[in-house]
């Protein structure tokens, strides 16, 4: 292993800044693009299915290829692959900003996900190779906190740009960040795993991509199709591909997913917990801008600033949270953190939709942010400490892949649930209104636009808004249930330090 000894203070700072900006660019893209969805709906007259694909095309390639990105970094140099990922991400961001139709935008987003898959695993892998195990928790805590700052400050600037310029600027924002990372990487030492000399597991990557693509396609397209036999067949093909993945990986000379890593109880438990806590977060970040802008009539800037408390809490407490593993072991923070997160989603679900920010949205975001802060840094530290340093790249890739997979599945599955609940509720409310047949048919024909449906009748507008609120709250209650499963995972699968 060509590793970096516990590096000089200057080298450590450069690595931290480069990885914070690079990974923050990817995290930023996930939040700011969600904020631009209402503007995209208006610009392209798009329904919820198209809007989901704008997000899911990126999440799909990112989740499918993260493990390949980790393997490439282990083999050919983590800094080198990190730089290639930054370049591809920047070029595809420019293409997204110049898109003239949704097909172009969705294709550019898929390429952007490939760039993200190359750079994301390198962030934690470079930190792991640079800092000793004793200092790693604090370093990862710092990385988590400042990555969150980049992620959450971006929507404020992005919201202002959407409101005053165009949605295109949410993609152009990535260009100066990418340039800064490329300059910093000149002084980042190279590190690779000398034992990783086998062939890349391309069959595993292909099966992962095919499996996730088929399942995601079936879930997203389900509400828009009247005949579901084809979608069921596509979903079954996806499940078959994912099932074959296990067989292929077991026989592969250099498997993309070394199942031996999951023999570690901490590694397996931490990844399962990752899925349960990141799935509801992905759904919240996707659906909440639609609620704030289209139902509660926030401006794009106000909606971007709504999650600002998340920035402050992550910035102030992430380094402290990174030390919790050193002081108490992983089990306690990985149980308490998800439990607090559950309370946050409950506050979101019961919040008034016609109150001001401080009494409706603020309690939920404060509570959820505290829970996620207590969870994220100990979770990342647990994953990286559960494997040998030589497998840092693939371990980071697996964990990041699980978090992206969680968001991918949540947006597709929760989106289907939201459309179904919205449609049933809207039908019931429209039946109680004395509307013309033509107006009812027009509303029903555009039901996939959800709260963005255009209606001239005031009572119809209210029925559309209330139907969306009902469906949105149903999603939040399920999100709370997922976070609760994460708390149970921390309690029963993460062993106390004394038993490790």
Q: Are 399 and 257 in contact (CB under 8 A)?
A: no
Q: What is the pLDDT of residues 184-219, one digit of tens each?
A: 877 776 766 656 666 677 787 788 888 888 888 888
Average pLDDT value for residue range 76-83: 82
Query: CA–CA separation, 142 vs 163, rounded Å?
Result: 32
pLDDT at 338: 92
Average pLDDT value for residue range 438-446: 77
User: How sure is the predictor about 7, in pLDDT bands with cuts at 50, 70 and 90?
Assistant: very low
Mean pLDDT computed over every residue of the chain = 81
Q: Greater confidence, 448 or 389?
A: 448
Q: Are 318 and 383 in contact (CB under 8 A)?
A: no
pLDDT at 393: 62
pLDDT at 1: 40
Q: Are 331 and 495 in contact (CB under 8 A)?
A: yes
Q: What is the pLDDT of residues 225-275, one digit of tens each?
A: 766 788 888 889 888 988 888 788 777 777 777 777 777 778 888 899 999
Query: Which position has the token pair 């993309």?
Result: 256
What DSSP state is assigned to residue 190?
A: P
What is the SS3 assignment for 192?
A: strand
Q: Are 82 and 186 in contact (CB under 8 A)?
A: no
User: How sure is the predictor about 403, in pLDDT bands with cuts at 50, 70 and 90?
Assistant: confident
Query: CA–CA separation, 237 vs 45, rounded Å?
Result: 32
Tokens of 52: 């989901």
Query: CA–CA separation, 222 vs 490, rounded Å?
Result: 34
Q: Is the pLDDT of residue 358 over 50?
A: yes
Going from the C-alpha of 19 to that of each of 129, 220, 345, 416, 470, the distances in angstroms are 13, 33, 30, 35, 40
Query: Which position has the token pair 């060509």?
Result: 2
User: How sure is the predictor about 145, in pLDDT bands with cuts at 50, 70 and 90?
Assistant: low
What phi, psi does 387 have (nearest 5°)? Answer: -130, 160
Query: CA–CA separation, 380 vs 382, rounded Å?
Result: 5
Among the listed residues 144, 31, 10, 123, the one whose alpha carbon sits nearest the alpha carbon of residue 70: 123
Q: Is the pLDDT of residue 347 over 50?
A: yes
pLDDT at 341: 94
9-201+252-423+469-499: CATH superfamily? MFS general substrate transporter like domains (1.20.1250.20)
Rg (CA), the chain: 22
The residue ranges of every structural domain in the chain are 9-201+252-423+469-499, 202-251
Query: CA–CA separation, 331 vs 361, rounded Å?
Result: 30
Q: Is the pLDDT of residue 52 over 60?
A: yes
Q: Is the pLDDT of residue 385 over 90?
A: no
pLDDT at 3: 42
Q: Is the pLDDT of residue 305 over 80?
A: yes
pLDDT at 342: 95
Average pLDDT value for residue range 40-64: 82
Q: How many residues does the chain have?
A: 500
Look at the alpha carbons of 38, 44, 48, 54 in this order and tell me if their dihedral is positive or negative. Answer: negative
pLDDT at 291: 87
**Helix 458-493, helix 437-445: angle, nearest 10:** 30
Q: Are 353 and 296 in contact (CB under 8 A)?
A: yes
Query: Which position has the token pair 């631009």?
Result: 36
pLDDT at 435: 73
> Which region among 66-75, 94-103, 294-303, 345-354 has the lowest average model confidence (pLDDT)?
66-75
pLDDT at 376: 85
pLDDT at 5: 41
pLDDT at 241: 86
What is the SS3 assignment for 372?
A: helix
Average pLDDT value for residue range 103-111: 91
pLDDT at 473: 93
Average pLDDT value for residue range 87-103: 90
Query: CA–CA separation, 444 vs 463, rounded Å?
Result: 12
Q: Is the pLDDT of residue 134 over 90?
A: no
pLDDT at 108: 92
């Amino acid at each position: 292993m060509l590793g970096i000894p516990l590096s000089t203070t200057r080298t450590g700072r450069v690595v931290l800044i480069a990885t914070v900006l690079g990974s923050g660019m990817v995290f930023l893209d996930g939040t700011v693009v969600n904020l631009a969805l209402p503007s995209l709906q208006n610009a392209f007259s798009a329904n919820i299915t198209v809007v989901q694909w704008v997000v899911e095309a990126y999440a799909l390639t990112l989740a499918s290829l993260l493990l390949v990105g980790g393997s490439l970094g282990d083999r050919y140099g983590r800094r080198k692959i990190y730089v290639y990922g930054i370049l591809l991400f920047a070029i595809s961001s420019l293409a997204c900003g110049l898109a003239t139709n949704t097909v172009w935008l969705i294709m550019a987003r898929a390429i952007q996900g490939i760039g993200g898959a190359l750079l994301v695993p390198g962030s934690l892998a470079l930190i792991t190779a640079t800092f000793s195990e004793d200092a790693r928790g604090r370093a990862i805590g710092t990385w988590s906190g400042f990555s969150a700052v980049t992620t959450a400050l971006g929507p404020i600037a992005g919201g202002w740009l959407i409101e005053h310029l165009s949605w295109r600027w949410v993609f152009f924002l990535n260009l100066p960040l990418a340039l800064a990372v490329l300059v910093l990487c000149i002084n980042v030492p190279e590190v690779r795993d000398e034992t990783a000399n086998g062939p890349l597991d391309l069959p595993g990557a292909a099966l992962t991509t095919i499996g996730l693509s088929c399942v995601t396609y079936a879930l997203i397209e389900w509400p828009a199709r009247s005949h579901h036999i084809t979608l069921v067949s596509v979903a079954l093909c996806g499940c078959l591909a994912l099932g074959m993945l296990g067989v292929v990986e077991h026989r592969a000379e250099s498997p993309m997913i070394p199942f031996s890593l999951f023999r570690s109880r901490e590694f397996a438990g931490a990844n399962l917990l990752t899925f349960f806590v990141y799935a509801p977060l992905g759904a919240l970040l996707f659906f909440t801008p639609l609620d704030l802008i289209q139902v509660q009539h926030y401006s794009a800037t106000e909606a971007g600033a709504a999650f600002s408390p998340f920035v402050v809490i992550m910035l102030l407490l992430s380094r402290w949270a990174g030390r919790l593993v050193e002081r108490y072991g992983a089990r306690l923070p990985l149980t308490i953190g998800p439990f607090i997160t559950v309370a946050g989603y409950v506050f979101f679900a019961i919040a008034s939709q016609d109150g001001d920010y401080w009494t409706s949205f603020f309690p939920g975001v404060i509570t959820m942010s505290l829970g996620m802060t207590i969870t994220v840094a100990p979770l990342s530290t647990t994953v990286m400490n559960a494997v040998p340093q030589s497998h840092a790249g693939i371990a980071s890739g697996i964990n990041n892949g699980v978090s992206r997979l969680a968001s991918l599945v949540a947006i597709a599955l929760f989106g289907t649930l939201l459309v179904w609940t919205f449609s049933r509720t809207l039908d019931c409310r429209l039946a109680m209104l004395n509307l013309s047949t033509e107006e009812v048919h027009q509303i029903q024909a555009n039901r996939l636009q959800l709260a963005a449906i255009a209606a001239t009748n005031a009572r119809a507008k209210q029925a559309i808004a209330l139907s969306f609120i009902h469906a949105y709250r149903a999603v939040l209650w399920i999100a709370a249930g997922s976070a609760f499963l994460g708390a149970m995972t921390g309690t029963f699968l993460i062993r106390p330090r004394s038993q490790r």
